[in-house]
């Protein structure tokens, strides 16, 4: 039972356009969500997060939207740049947990074409 799902394995967009990456979750206990970016031969790097008390969090070109009733979140990148080409992982966890461990989706490979 996969609790965090990224249904699009890949996404290709033109430079300067918007990239929208989607993520769905099933566990109602999740109330803190993170996006990580991963380049080849590197570990995942934290990008942006959102807690369930918000429905939007913005950091520069990156915005995460959370629809708690639909158990859905999305990452918007505007404008997309070739350097954004990477694998993007959605992760989720209960916020008030001792562990802090995250459950990850399988990732979406974003390709931004010049």
Partner 1 sequence: DTGVSQDPRHKITKRGQNVTFRCDPISEHNRLYWYRQTLGQGPEFLTYFQNEAQLEKSRLLSDRFSAERPKGSFSTLEIQRTEQGDSAMYLCASSADPGNIQYFGAGTRLSVL
For position 29 contacting partner 1 by CB under 8 A, the verdict is no
DSSP track, 65-107? EEETTTTEEEEEESS--GGG-EEEEEEEE-SS-SS---EE---
For position 105 contacting partner 1 by CB under 8 A, the verdict is yes
Per DSSP, the three-state class of 23 is strand
For position 8 contacting partner 1 by CB under 8 A, the verdict is no
Binding to partner 1 (CB under 8 A): which residues in 30-59?
Answer: 34, 36, 41-46, 49
Answer whether 105's CB lies under 8 Å from 5's CB: yes
Name the segment binding partner 1 (CB under 8 A); options: 12-20, 57-65, 72-80, 93-101: 93-101
Largest alpha-carbon pair distance within the chain?
Answer: 44
- Smallest separation (angstroms) from partner 1 to the CB of 17: 26
Q: Nearer to partner 1 by C-beta: 23 or 77?
A: 23
**Cis upstream peptide for 79 (omega within 30°):** yes
- Smallest separation (angstroms) from partner 1 to the CB of 43: 3
Alpha-carbon gap, residue 85 to 105, rounded angstroms:
18
Which residues bind to partner 1, rule: CB under 8 A?
4, 6, 9, 34, 36, 41-46, 49, 89, 91, 95, 97-107
């Amino acid at each position: 039972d996969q609790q965090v799902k990224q249904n699009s394995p890949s996404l290709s967009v033109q430079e300067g356009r918007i990239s929208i990456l989607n993520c769905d979750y099933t566990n109602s206990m999740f109330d803190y969500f993170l996006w990580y970016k991963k380049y080849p031969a590197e570990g995942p790097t934290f990008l942006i997060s959102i807690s369930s008390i918000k429905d939007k969090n913005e950091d520069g070109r990156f915005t995460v939207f959370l629809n708690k009733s639909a158990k859905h979140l999305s990452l918007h990148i505007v404008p997309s740049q070739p350097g954004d080409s990477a694998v993007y992982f959605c992760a989720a966890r209960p916020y008030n947990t001792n562990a802090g461990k995250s459950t990850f989706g399988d990732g979406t490979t974003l390709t931004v074409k010049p």
